[in-house]
Amino acid sequence: MSPLGWSALSWAIGILLVAPLLTQVAHHLDRGQYQSLILIAATSFGSFFCLLTGFFKTVWVFLFYILFIAASIIIAEAVHTRNLGLMIRGLAAHDSGKHLVLRRRAAASQLSLYCTAIGGIGAALMAAFMYHMLRRTDQLTGLWVVSIFSGLIWFIGICHGLFTNRPSSSSPTTAFEPNFISKLKYSMTIGRYPQAIGSLVAVFLSSFATMCIFTSGTLYAIGGVCIKPVLVLALWILYFLFPLISLPLLHPIQIIIRADAVRMQLLGFIIALFVSGAGFYFKSHRWRAAHIIIIALVQSTANGILYSFGRILLLDASPPGKEGAFAIWYAYVRCMGAMIGFAVASAGPGRAGGSFAAAFLGSFLGIIVLIFGNVSNIGALKAAGHLKGMEDDKRIGEKGEGMSAVADSGESRGRV
């Protein structure tokens, strides 16, 4: 197996190993009082293995490094996704009816888009640091330095967990600790919400397509076009930093046209469909650097749109107080889609056409799921119970109209 194949295998093992822990994490996120400790533990676990890998000068330890880092990222992302759901629910807590839908849409898109855009800064900095270290003659030493530096950055992230405490609003119903079966049933709560299942399928397909395009495009630029390493660095920096411009500009446009999360995801899938289709059609042509840069800029915007609005749609489908049970599924499915996309793209580094075709198929299936899969933003909010105020107002309005009709009829009879 190639190093890329071993990386995909370690990634897959990490996803499988963390699955039993997610039932415990979901229960403690929604019904416990120590959510910050879960975030600190996951971040410390990932930081420890980054530092540990940098101190052992052997190649095989990187397999365990990838394995444990993948598991840590899933739990940490689940905690952050739950926190985002609580923030969105709190910002729209004083609204009801149609105002709640508009307020929630504006707040959720603004938070998610800006967080995604700012996250690109860290990715660009790490890409630049990695390129600087790997230019040295002893590349393994440079890679170990990058690993240690990554561990230190993760260790600084523990401070976020220390000052961020969002406990659950619900108290445990019994004084006894629930058994594993009860926690497993609670983590499977998402199965009762078809809107959430549809959003998870869209998240999986979007993660698969975007990772497949990114990996296959990078491998083709290095092996097929044979561009210089400094141009690869410039390509990555443009890919990570361009969403700082495109995503904030997209937010006011979304508010003006009143597009919900489903329509924005359709936009992201259409862009990814165009990029993967162009890559497959022109796979035998000689690409220039300008063509690769344009594709990178367009695809980075599509990636940001799909990532931002994918979790918004899932959080809209999660009932109040159960954001943790839904967030673990989002983090797990998204990581699984990225892993499969990476494995498909890296299986044949010299056959970029097949990888672009797989990404094209994933994007097309994502569009089909969102259009014909009965997935809607309003339907998700209603099924999750966020629009009870709108339904109550509607019933009150209908009752008021009925009473006024009775009064009018009584008044007419009195005149007769």
CATH classification at residue 220: 1.20.1250.20
Rg of the chain taking only CA atoms, in angstroms: 24
Residue 394 in any domain: the answer is no
Whole-model pTM? 0.87
Residue 407 in any domain: the answer is no
Residue 270 in any domain: the answer is yes
Look at residue 412 in the predicted model and tell me its pLDDT.
46
Look at residue 184 in the predicted model and tell me its pLDDT.
83
Residue 173 in any domain: the answer is no
Residue 410 in any domain: the answer is no
Domain extent, residue 312, equals 3-166+191-388
Per-residue pLDDT of the chain (416 residues; tens, 9 = 90+): 788 888 889 999 999 999 988 888 888 888 877 788 888 888 888 888 888 876 777 777 778 888 888 899 999 999 999 989 888 888 887 777 778 888 888 889 999 999 999 999 988 988 888 888 877 777 777 778 888 888 888 888 787 777 776 666 555 555 456 777 888 888 888 888 989 999 999 999 999 999 999 998 888 888 777 788 888 888 889 999 999 999 999 989 998 888 889 999 999 999 999 999 988 888 777 777 788 888 889 999 999 999 999 999 999 998 888 888 999 999 999 999 999 999 998 887 667 788 889 999 999 999 999 999 888 888 888 888 888 755 544 443 444 444 444 345 444 444 43
Residue 402 in any domain: the answer is no
d(CA 114, CA 252): 12
Asked if residue 346 lies in contact with residue 220, where contact means CB atoms within 8 angstroms, the answer is no
Residue 180 in any domain: the answer is no
C-alpha distance from residue 151 to each of 45, 48, 69, 229, 291 (Å): 10, 7, 10, 25, 36
Look at residue 75 in the predicted model and tell me its pLDDT.
92
Look at residue 367 in the predicted model and tell me its pLDDT.
94
CA angle, residues 370, 18, 152, in degrees to nearest 5:
100
Alpha helices in 92-226, H assignment, sequence order: 98-134, 139-156, 158-162, 180-187, 194-219
d(CA 146, CA 53): 10
Look at residue 309 in the predicted model and tell me its pLDDT.
94
CA angle, residues 39, 193, 399, in degrees to nearest 5:
115
Residue 405 in any domain: the answer is no
Look at residue 241 in the predicted model and tell me its pLDDT.
93
d(CA 245, CA 120): 11
Structure token pair of residue 40: 């600190």
| Number of domains the chain contains | 1
Residues sharing a CB contact under 8 Å with residue 300, sequence separation 6 or more, in sequence order: 120, 238, 239, 240, 242, 243, 246
